[in-house]
Amino acid sequence: MPELPRLVRIPTLKTVADFRSYVASLGVELSCEDQIVTGTASPLAQPVERIAINGKRIGNRWAIQPMEGWDGTTTGGTTEDVRRRWQRFGESGAKLIYGGEAMAVRPDGRANPNQLIISEENKRDLAELREILVRAHKERYDITDDLVIGFQLTHSGRFCKPNDKFRLEPRVAYRHPILDRKFNVTSDAQVWTDGEIELLIQDYVRAAKIAADVGADFVDIKHCHGYLLHEFLSAHTRPDRYGGSFENRTRVLREIVEGIRASGNNIEIGVRLSAFDFVPFKPDPALSQPGKLGPGIPEDFSHCLPYRYGFGVNQNNPVEYDLTETFQFAELCAQLGVKILNLSAGSPYYNPHIQRPAAYPPSDGYQPPEDPLVGVARQINVVRQLKAHVESLNRSTVEPGMQTADSTFQRFNVSTQLNLIIVGSAYSYLQEYLPHVAQFVVRNGWTDLIGLGRMTLAYPTIIADAVEKGTLEKKSICRTFSDCTTAPRNGLISGCYPLDKYYTSKPESQKLREIKKAVGT
């Protein structure tokens, strides 16, 4: 009978040498530096000089990622829980902050009934959140003219739950032979029509105007994790102008950017992209039992080969990635004037070990089928490949109209550089060794910025502490218990229940313990 992989917990690796030795035993490339470098000598303390965002140079090399909030009002406004989170993100020291969470561009696009909505009705609340963040940053770090704040715009598509925490109301780009069963897609009427997409694009344009009005430096057009615009990137089987060819599958992004610019809005634009995907996974039934999830295994995909239902995936073997179109997408972003490309992978809804490597699964997930460090290395090295691809194009000189041996330039055909700031993800599982790895990848140009998500719920100042003190508060380090996912999956507010006393003291904490015990996470 197969067995669960035996994980070596990061806290048991007492030295950098121990960490390196264990990584080597896994057969993956995950380099790190021996010491945490402090002060202005730290690679993580260097500003991003080559590209300005709204006239600002990003002041250091770490970012707060956009996450998904479950604690706003039912009308998409703010609460004390939301305001506290944004304040802590301001205190983090990061100079690139995606506000802190994804904002639905319309009410029916929410992934839960308490997600923020970017609308005229909520404009005052959103302005207040930005002010709270900036004020907290200024009080701790004094300087804010190098602080760049973005709002992530989203429609949840297949994962919509706008009216009830437990009732899916999905709208999809196309019918999916595996995911439809899991996410209650039963009718072609749930597939977006061209006319509905055109109206949705205007919702994004209006949302970008609101973001500019309340002082955001940029908007991020979300193309990751299986949400709607990411799903359009894999709409190979969709027959109309928004499906089939790469040109058609990226049309939504192009028309959103064109609409923003045509409206006279000069706000900067970023994109968060799942650079690759795998097929959906499920708990292995042979190793699952009551109160104990089995390790993840791929859903049976033999009936849908070649696999034309993912982006950045090998269609002949969809448990491998293929970055051909990922490279094309990066080039397209630069052509459109997108300045920040933030890279993630997979989806938390159907292959969470790909998207956020963790030692402990969420309640709707499965035990890790591989050591999470393998997943960390996978994402870091994909970002490295994309960064190298962009730089290889920038080293070439091509005049308009010239032909070269490089087919990418025959497609792209510009004389200007690909001005993209690259943000990498999947660093939380590194725990004590996060600064050591982060220093290496930034110093060696594998990425421009280190993006941190769930880690900052428990310990927002982790990189600031590393740069200022050279040490971390071990009791505050995220151990990837996945409570920040299990809680909202079960209708509770999001937050770090194990390590943040603000959440530990809430009545939801006891409910969460009971839920985890029942499902065996």
Q: What is the pTM of this model?
A: 0.95
In tens digits, the chain (521 residues) has pLDDT values of: 456 668 999 999 999 999 999 999 999 999 999 999 999 999 999 999 999 999 999 999 999 999 999 999 999 999 999 999 999 999 999 999 999 899 999 999 999 999 999 999 999 999 999 999 999 999 999 999 999 999 999 999 999 999 999 999 999 999 999 999 999 999 999 999 999 999 999 999 999 999 999 999 999 999 999 999 999 999 999 999 999 999 999 999 999 999 999 999 999 999 999 999 999 999 999 998 888 899 999 999 999 999 999 999 999 999 999 999 999 999 999 999 999 999 999 999 999 999 999 999 999 999 999 999 999 999 999 999 999 999 998 876 444 443 333 333 344 444 457 889 999 999 999 999 999 999 999 999 999 999 999 999 999 999 999 999 999 999 999 999 999 999 999 999 999 999 999 999 999 999 999 999 888 77
Alpha carbons 173 and 160: distance in angstroms, whole number:
13
DSSP result, 424-440:
E---GGGGGGHHHHHHH
What are the residue ranges of helices labelled H in 242-339?
Answer: 246-249, 251-262, 324-336
The b/e string for 332-350 (b: 16+ C-beta within 10 A; e otherwise) is: bbbbbebbbbbbbbbbbbb
Q: Which helix (H) or strand (E) holds 106?
A: none
Residue with tokens 């409206």: 263
CA distances in angstroms from 312 to 94, 123, 140, 281, 283, listed in the order given: 29, 36, 41, 17, 24
Alpha carbons 314 and 316: distance in angstroms, whole number:
5
CB distance 71 to 457 below 8 Å? no
Strands 281-283, 296-298: parallel, antiparallel or unpaired by DSSP? antiparallel
Token pair of 425 as six digits: 């993800």
Question: Maximum CA pair distance of the chain?
Answer: 66
Alpha carbons 430 and 36: distance in angstroms, whole number:
14
| Complete domains list, the chain, with CATH | 10-479 (3.20.20.70)
